[in-house]
Structure 1
């Protein structure tokens, strides 16, 4: 007899997800904007579980969409357009009526459910194995005791400045203030950045944002996760 644990049931139940494209269609907000908001929630560690990324084809090009569980999708819509929260709940009710756990008294259905779960776990382990070398690289490489400026960090991570700048802006880690990259206030409060002030040769005061040692390790970890989910030839 095939046995299923509570963990098995939870894993199967968690497979009910809603995509960022569905949220975009529901709210009338562009898919790109929805994805940026979800990324910012991930950066702020507000999501209850890691993002699931699916690929889909659009006009002959492979693109990415994010899949969220019920709690995280409601959080995203509440941030994007609160007026659609009730509509989203209706969608979830419809989805939950259709979605159901396998009939574990039926050996054939139970076997299929076990096989699906096994494949999902195997795929997750393969993805983890792919990203592990990158994570190990950053763990070994990111050993700083002093703060670093933007260019110093780019050199250390061996990433092009425009690419890393776009990453920081899209994740809402930093924003442009009169052309200057400026950290979001809550990231300053978290201790990821420090500001260094001084007076230039022209006697004009300046303020430069720098990544603290804590911030370097944090953003390097985010960057490692980002590049691990960017297969070649796939548009974001």
Structure 2
């Protein structure tokens, strides 16, 4: 075997911004922001590392693929435990055997067989996820809105867990330690949430107004993707959505 025929073709190892976000527990949008800031500071162009992926809805989204040096530079300011996760992941990536280009017919046939097995495995995963995707599609196109407790019931998580997630993820907040939850304007603008302003009579007989946060179908679909432990029932006939027939009030 000649030196040329024995040459090894390697695929450059990189780490995506999505994997960095998953390993560090940060939101992907925040990791993307950190990457853009870092690239500007070190004088590197974004386009060189830009890439795309398809989300759960099949929509094309932006991401970055970083080499080891820029990944380590990125997480240098993160907590020690998060940096350690990244370093250990890089050790795993570097320990993975490099891809070898087939040098004869037998190796080419074996590679083709392995690729076919991987295609079949991916197809099986897609088929298994199809019912959930269909359920999310039905939610997204539904005509209704849901209270926080109703949304938690649909997502099969505890109401306290859902509310805590939404509060820490800047979906909802309380003004001046008030009792009622309010929606962040960004989530209203995105079509995820809206405010229902109702009236009630207090014990003194005074009529007052009260804000109630409602989750719209688009918001419920998004929460199903990002809330830890969330599950979507395959049979959505039990969903008791309240008709959404008027424009949401824009509350700042």
Greater percentage in helix: 1
Which structure has more relative contact order (CA 8 Å, sep 6+)? It is: 1
The structure having more radius of gyration, on CA atoms, is 2
